[in-house]
A and B are shown apart, each in its own frame.
Chain A
């Protein structure tokens, strides 16, 4: 028996390495959404969907989900001290959405999943790209959908997620073997 055949026999396959044979920490699945947000401008001070989501079905309850997110945005201060927050939330098996940290809520801005940018003074503006990386432990093999929401903090300003034709939002999910 050749070494290659011995290895294939050891792995239990003749062509690919099954995820069950891969070491802890291996990336065993990737899902991504790269699209323009369906939300244009908003002055909402409560969280609204920006229209970007991505789904993944973990192969084991021990799997971790590494989440990468980048998005362009524009904030107009409008003469007020205003902030801009975004929220990453998830739905497991079609249930209600909640922040990716258990017990956190959209109004709690101290969570790792919420980022704030503050603009102060009359007519101030900020255009930037916001990024987030987070390792989630959903403990499920049901389908999970992650989505991005955003809102203003304080009245008087506006934000825009879809300012130009090349303003794309990316949400990428990697299943990491636990």
Chain B
């Protein structure tokens, strides 16, 4: 049984990679503000494998509108 939430499925269906969602419940992400506060993009990594994360929407490479549209198809 696929346990992924809709937003995770949407992000993966869009082919988006190297992201993290910091939230208690992914199903609660239903607005752009909630998405932008939970989403972090791995923009690079250090020599010892640590992710360098960005909370800047300009680094996300995907928009809430795109994600919402994909979620609505599921």
Q: Which residues of A contact B (CB under 8 A)?
A: 36, 38-48, 51, 74, 76, 78, 98-99, 105-107, 123, 125, 127, 149, 151, 155-156, 158, 160, 162-163
Q: Is the CB of B49 within 8 A of A38?
A: no
B1, B5, B42: residue with the most chain A Cβ atoms closer than 10 Å: B42
Q: Known A42-B20, A78-B12; judge A105-B49 contact (CB<8 A).
A: yes
Most chain A CB inside 10 Å of its own CB: which residue of B11, B40, B48? B48
B:29-70 near A, CB below 8 Å: 38, 40, 42, 45-53
Against A, the Cβ 8 Å flags (1 = close, 0 = not) of B1-42 are 111110010011000111111111110000000000010101
Q: Given the complex, which residues of B lie within 8 Å of A162, measured CB to CB?
A: 23-25
Docked-complex contact A41 and B42, CB < 8 angstroms? no
Partner of A123 from the list B2, B16, B21, B45 (CB cut-off 8 Å) is B2
Pairwise interchain contact B22-A46, C-beta atoms closer than 8 A: no
- Is there contact, CB below 8 Å, between B48 and A41? no
Q: Roughly how many angstroms separate A107 CA and B49 CA in the complex, as a whole number?
A: 5
A-B contact pairs, 6 of them (CB 8 A): A39-B21, A40-B38, A43-B17, A45-B17, A107-B49, A127-B3
Q: B-side interface residues toward A, CB under 8 Å?
A: 1-5, 8, 11-12, 16-26, 38, 40, 42, 45-53
Which residue of B is nearest A43, CB measured?
B17
- Of chain A, the residue at the smallest CB distance from B45 is A46
B26: chain A residues within 8 A (beta carbon): 40-41
Complex Cα gap A101–B47 (Å) = 17
CA distance A62 to B19 in the complex (A): 41
**Closest CB in chain B relative to A37 CB, distance in Å:** 9
| Residue from B4, B47, B49 within 8 A of A76 (CB atoms) | B4
Give the interface centre of A45, A46, A99 by most chain B CB atoms within 10 Å: A46
User: Contacts A105-B48, A105-B49, A107-B49 hold; do A48 and B3 have CB atoms under 8 A apart?
Assistant: no
Using A125-B2, A158-B4, A163-B3 as known contacts, say yes or no to A105 and B47 having CB atoms under 8 A apart. Answer: yes
Question: Which of A41, A74, A106, A155 is within 8 Å of B50, CB to CB?
Answer: A106
Leading 3 A-B pairs by shortest Cβ distance: A106-B49, A46-B51, A105-B48
- Which A residues touch B3, using CB under 8 A? 74, 76, 125, 127, 160, 163
User: Which chain B residue lies CB-closest to A162?
Assistant: B24
The distance from the CB of A158 to the nearest CB of chain B, in whole angstroms, is 6
- Provided the pairs A41-B8, A76-B3 are in contact, do residues A151 and B17 lie with their beta carbons within 8 angstroms? no
